[in-house]
Chains A and B, each alone.
Chain A
Amino acid sequence: MTGLLAVLSIILIAIIIVQIGKVTELAAKIRGEEEAEMEINNRNALWSIVFMVVFLIACVVSAVYYKNSILWYGPHTAASAHGGELDSLFNTTLFFTGIVFIVTHILLFWFAYKYRSKKGRKVLYMPHDTRLEIIWTMVPAVVMSFLVIKGLVAWNEVMADVGEDEDYIEIEATGMQFLWTMRYPGPDGALGRKYYKNITAVNALGQDWEDTKNLDDIVSSAAGEVIKLPINKKVRVRITARDVLHNFDLPHFRVKMDAIPGLPTYFAFTPNITTEEYRERLGALDKEGNPLYPEWHEPADPEDAESKARWEEFNFELACAELCGSGHYSMRRVIEVVSEEEWKAWMDEQKSFYLMSIRNTDEDPYKGKLLSVEVQQRSQDFRTAVDQALASDKEEDKIIRLEYVTFETGSAQLTQYANYQLEDLAKVMKSNENIQIAISGHTDNVGEPEANLSLSTARAQTVYDYLTEKGDIEPARLTSAGYGETQPIADNTTEDGRQENRRTEFKIVTQ
């Protein structure tokens, strides 16, 4: 029914329109066609002037109205070191094109109006004018040369890759349908190799674990996770794609580059304002205390007048600017620029993706093996534990477990990697000549108590022997004893508890 009504009303409108056309033609016939035609001509000439004036005013007024929302000006000057030059180039171009735009529009419509058809008007037979033509070929050519030179100088500076001895951090952005996955190098400062055929459900980037540079890399793929960058430090972004083309777009930093499967691209830029400072810029007040940019003081949530002001909620955003499928419009990540100290502290908190998600799973080629990073980590942890024990006054804090000194089942034979912690212990004792320790072995309550006692004694003795023989520690500084199942520290009825109870530890007796 509504469809029928719509069709009917369209037909009706069409008839009315056709009638309007017919009526004006008839009216013209009655009044004398020539006279009517002249009147119409004059009216249209007048409209062209009105149009020109209103149009030019509307262009200028709307530009002023939106000036605080668009980039390049006022609060929105670039947030990166290279951006300033681009902003200046934009404004120079706007200046020249603005003049041409206004002047040509005035001339176009003014001439049309001024030379509107009049009875008996003699037209000017002017097929060409060489001098004029040379002028208006040369003037654009000169202006264009100026813009080209300014543009290319800026372009080649911005697109130059990092220099050989330049200080920069390299991060990686990988576009995939429909999210951005970021990768930071870990402490080694280098990103590891990756290959698309290594990609699995867990290993979304296809990192190659054979390349040890990968083992400390930090991967961030959740859309809600903030990407932090340090201020005033050059960031070289390695831009890659997993499936189709994407584009790494950071509008506030004047950064944009396609992400291409099989062909990494790069963009290097230096953020030069923190998120906090940028927010303050948007929320700035003038001398009288009025907002400089009122639109940024509106509530961030238009539905809720009590919500925070827009400037307080401002964030730098990462978008995709190359059509990549149905979710193209939703690949958002937030970038936060912070001070270098804050960034370092944040980086320290980040965990290596390999250690978090791959280590000792079936995908881990090093499953069951000990990695040097882990050895280092264990040494560090051990040192920390010893330092804490030395600093403490309490008796119970002086006991330190040798977590990684483990033995073959039912024997006092050390396992493959037990020596690392024993070396650490030897090192500690060497650097602190005053330390004397008591080594003790313990078991759970499975099996015969006598057997447990002798096994724990033997194991404590193994540690003692290792330290005195291989570690070259004076025997007088050590004692060793086995306690079997007599000193449990956890519940022996659970497997976890029994695991806790099977342990070798030492106590700092003197220091």
Chain B
Amino acid sequence: MADIANPTTTPTYNPDLLIEEMGYEDHFHEHHDEDKYQSNFLTTYIFSQDHKMIAKQFLITGIFWGFIGAAMSIVFRLQLGFPEENMAWIKPLLGKWITVNDAGIGTLAPEFYYALVTMHGTILVFFVLTAGLSGTFSNLLIPLQVGARDMASPLLNMLSYWFFFLAGAVMFASLFLSTGPFSGGWTAYPPLSALPQASSGSGAGMTLWIVSLVLFVVSVLLGGINYVTTVLNLRTKGMTMWRLPLTIWAFFVTAIIGILSFPVLASAFFLVMCDRGLGTSFFLSEIFIGGSALEHVGGSPILYQHLFWFLGHPEVYIIILPAMGLVSEVLSVHSRKPIFGYKAMVYSILAIAFLSFIVWAHHMFMSGVNPFISNFFVIFTLIIAVPSAVKVFNWISTLYGGNVRFTSACLFAIGFVSLFISGGLTGIFLGNSAIDIQMHDTYFVVAHFHIVMGVAAFFGMFAGIYNWFPKMFGRFMNETLGRIHFWGTIIGAYAIFWPMHYIGLAGVPRRYYRFDTFDFASQFGAMNKFITIAAIIVFALQVLFIINFFYSIWKGKRVTSRNPWGATTLEWTTPIDTGHGNWPGKIPAVHRWAYDYGKDGTEYIPQYVPLGEGEKDGGEH
């Protein structure tokens, strides 16, 4: 770690002196002699209003849910890879989800297979990759990197976490219902989700699912309003928008997308509740089920899909943009070079965010919407490839001519770029409605979104965790285990999802409990075994990560230097053990953009260092 922790050409900047000299005095500590916010255990660790603690709460809760969601995928992968194997051994854990016949052979019942698939999707998309990723790093980095004492409203910030916690608690409770949790897919399309007669999980399971996700929407909105306000209003002296690190740009835009799209999801859920409980017909029409004809007429299931995907599509950018921001920052810091095309990166984020709102119906090409409308959605969807391509080329150019340190964080950032390319390119097939006729709802889609927004977002998250762990806990994570984690995961993740392209190309639909019911689906038995084994190995590697994470919190190598990676951004100017209010004295003032690496022969110039005589700010181009 030596050369990484202490760069060879150690700069001579003394942050304390510079901050004292040029910093911004807000008289914070004169009013906060006695820290009324963190006076006891409860207010320090549980109902904390400190953004750094809330970030840790989001992260650890996210890891908990990540473990549950991944473990569920292992169970249903066992069903798909080894459908004939005896599953009685997990009966102690899954209870009546496993039915054991007279011969003692245990089988996963189809309803619970679908419940597992549904829960896996819901948990990973919302609890892990939205709350766990954006919640963690927006909270940790926004105040620290813009130079703020805390979020604009620490109270709302605390509530944001606790609404998320409640959402999780309700979802967790639904796992123990006698009829099982909701099992109609994470998209919860009515009528399947609206009618308890349609599926056992659509009864109480669906009610709890909706309650949980409405709580979650509240959490996202409280957090999002806070993030936006903090970025707009609490930037320190000299921190113009064009001097923000790309992480902040990403979190800022993500929060805006969330604020605009999540309420639509909430309204869709509200209408489903009305259809379920009040006998309205928003999404239901002319249904005969369970031996009787229902009274609902005039509703349209397609309306729900419009409302759902109006959030659902922006949601994938809510997941991937923060990962992109983290990766941009990590790649720049660890290749010791400015991010290539900073402004192009910002404009790409803005373009992607704007386009994300007008492409939702590309999930619905084969849903029975008017084919003419699809023309527009095809055009907008494929335009997204342009800003995405720009970002990829810029990341690659960032490495060009650099001095790349293969830390775990940097490896995961490079891995992210690889996955984003692989998964992004398959999106060009799916976004073209004519090809989507064949590809829609096949394993090709499963491969596409798992690579581009599942695994890639995880890689962004891991890059962030390995990079900012020293900031969070004052210790390093073990780098050897980190690198094992990386190489194992990237090989394993491709081993899981690459073959799924072929399964999808053969026409096999997703969400099939078993494949032997169709001739065209049954030809991949060996491949499905292979995928399942790879999934188990990758799962084991994530357990390794969790061990490394918790071990390092208490036993990891101590951070000895305030700025271990030699980064330019403000979070590394705070004391190693960053207290409430972040800076013990004045808030640093900012004089330059965040990417002065390798400028004029220096290794790096932090943002708080004033511009030299005649020196131009690197960001202004």
Partner of B293, one of A17, A37, A128, A197: A197
Report Cα–Cα, A52/B578, bound state, in Å: 40
With an 8 Å Cβ cutoff, the count of chain A residues facing the other chain is: 121
Supposing A105-B418, A243-B288 touch, asked if A151 and B438 sit within 8 A by C-beta, the answer is no
Asked if A326 and B422 sit within 8 Å, CB to CB, the answer is: no
Residues in A with CB closer than 8 Å to B335 are: 115, 123
| 0/1 interface trace, chain B 79-120, chain A, CB 8 Å (1 if under) | 000000000010010000000000000000111001000000
Nearest Cβ in chain B — how far from A327, in angstroms? 7
Report Cα–Cα, A120/B288, bound state, in Å: 75
Report Cα–Cα, A58/B114, bound state, in Å: 32
Tell me, yes or no, whether B548 is within 8 Å of chain A by CB: yes
Nearest Cβ in chain A — how far from B123, in angstroms? 17
- Write the chain B residue with the least CB distance to A264: B368
Residues in B with CB closer than 8 Å to A156 are: 371-372, 375
Asked if B344 and A128 sit within 8 Å, CB to CB, the answer is: yes
Asked if A133 and B390 sit within 8 Å, CB to CB, the answer is: yes
Asked if A140 and B386 sit within 8 Å, CB to CB, the answer is: yes
Residues in B with CB closer than 8 Å to A159 are: 371, 374
| 0/1 interface trace, chain A 95-130, chain B, CB 8 Å (1 if under) | 011001100110111011001111111111111110
Nearest Cβ in chain B — how far from A319, in angstroms? 6
Supposing A93-B429, A120-B8 touch, asked if A37 and B1 sit within 8 A by C-beta, the answer is yes
Q: Which of A43-51, A209-217, A349-357, A389-397 contacts B (4 or more CB under 8 A)?
A: A43-51
Nearest Cβ in chain B — how far from A174, in angstroms? 10
| 0/1 interface trace, chain A 189-210, chain B, CB 8 Å (1 if under) | 0000001110100000010000
Residues in B with CB closer than 8 Å to A260 are: 301-302, 367-368
Tell me, yes or no, whether A3 is within 8 Å of chain B by CB: yes
Report Cα–Cα, A44/B486, bound state, in Å: 11
- Write the chain A residue with the least CB distance to B604: A123
Residues in B with CB closer than 8 Å to A315 are: 519
With an 8 Å Cβ cutoff, the count of chain B residues facing the other chain is: 134
Asked if B289 and A244 sit within 8 Å, CB to CB, the answer is: yes
The residue in B378, B396, B404, B421 that gathers the most chain A C-beta atoms within 10 A of its C-beta is B404
Q: Which of B63-71, B246-254, B455-463, B502-510 contacts A (4 or more CB under 8 A)?
A: B502-510
Residues in B with CB closer than 8 Å to A281 are: none
A interface, by DSSP: helix, strand, loop or mixed? helix
Asked if B513 and A245 sit within 8 Å, CB to CB, the answer is: no
Report Cα–Cα, A407/B454, bound state, in Å: 79
Nearest Cβ in chain B — how far from A208, in angstroms? 13
Tell me, yes or no, whether A475 is within 8 Å of chain B by CB: no
| 0/1 interface trace, chain B 349-389, chain A, CB 8 Å (1 if under) | 00000000000000000111001101100110011011001
Nearest Cβ in chain B — how far from A146, in angstroms? 10
| 0/1 interface trace, chain B 186-210, chain A, CB 8 Å (1 if under) | 0001011001001110000000000
Asked if B480 and A20 sit within 8 Å, CB to CB, the answer is: yes
Asked if A24 and B480 sit within 8 Å, CB to CB, the answer is: yes
Tell me, yes or no, whether A336 is within 8 Å of chain B by CB: no
Chain A to chain B contacts (Cβ below 8 Å), 30 pairs: A18-B481, A18-B548, A34-B3, A47-B487, A51-B490, A66-B505, A69-B523, A72-B438, A104-B393, A109-B414, A111-B404, A123-B597, A124-B400, A124-B401, A125-B598, A127-B339, A128-B343, A132-B393, A140-B385, A197-B288, A243-B198, A243-B288, A251-B506, A261-B285, A261-B287, A263-B301, A263-B368, A321-B509, A322-B441, A326-B110
Interface residues of chain A, those whose CB is within 8 Å of chain B, are 2-3, 14, 17-18, 20-22, 24-25, 28, 33-34, 37-38, 40-41, 44-45, 47-48, 51, 55, 58-59, 62-63, 66, 69-72, 85-86, 89-90, 93-94, 96-97, 100-101, 104-105, 107-109, 111-112, 115-129, 132-133, 136-137, 140-141, 144, 147-148, 151-152, 154-156, 158-159, 177, 195-197, 199, 206, 242-245, 247, 249, 251-252, 254-258, 260-263, 265, 313-315, 317, 319-330, 332
Q: Which 5 A-B pairs have the closest CB atoms?
A: A251-B507, A124-B401, A262-B285, A33-B2, A123-B598
Give 10 new A-B contacts, CB below 8 A, not counting A123-B402, A125-B338, A196-B286.
A34-B2, A48-B406, A97-B429, A108-B418, A122-B598, A136-B390, A144-B386, A152-B379, A252-B507, A332-B518
Interface residues of chain B, those whose CB is within 8 Å of chain A, are 1-4, 8, 89, 92, 109-111, 114, 183-185, 189, 191-192, 195, 198-200, 284-289, 293, 297-302, 335-344, 366-368, 371-372, 374-375, 378-379, 382-383, 385-386, 389-390, 392-397, 399-406, 411, 414, 417-418, 421-422, 425-426, 428-429, 432-435, 437-438, 440-442, 478-481, 483, 487, 490-491, 494, 498-499, 502, 505-507, 509, 511-515, 517-521, 523-524, 544, 547-548, 551, 557, 595, 597-601, 618-619, 621
